[in-house]
Amino acid sequence: MSEEDVKFLSVEEAARVIGAIQEEEDIHDPAHRILTVYSKEDKELCWFDYDEVMADVNPGKGDDAKEMVSNYIIRRIPDWVLDL
């Protein structure tokens, strides 16, 4: 499936599903960080590459990086998470 084929949840629907976004160590590469998205039931839904997200968000000094990252991710939750 190409990136163009991915459908995303609306911001409202994603907000109803997401319980937390956690920065974590990639279990396959301890030097790599990921952002894991969990449901309100604490079920892993999907993950994002930390470096890619930070490059896209590019928070400046004094910016609220956590809020910027959350806003970025909530707009990119794939619709297939509803099937998990």
Name the DSSP class of 29: E
For 76, the domain range is: 3-83
Residues 6 or more apart whose Cβ sits within 8 Å of residue 23: 33, 34, 35, 50
CA distance 61 to 77: 27
* Number of domains present in the structure of the chain: 1
Q: How confident is the prediction for the chain on average, in pLDDT?
A: 93
Which of the two residues, 46 and 4, has the higher pLDDT score? 46
Q: Work out the pLDDT band at 63, boundaries 50, 70, 90.
A: confident
Percent of the chain whose predicted confidence (pLDDT) is above 70: 95
The whole-number average pLDDT for the span 66-70 is: 94
User: With a threshold of 0.85, does the pTM exceed it?
Assistant: yes
Cβ of 35: how many Cβ atoms within 10 Å? Answer: 20
Assess whether pLDDT exceeds 80 at residue 3.
Answer: no
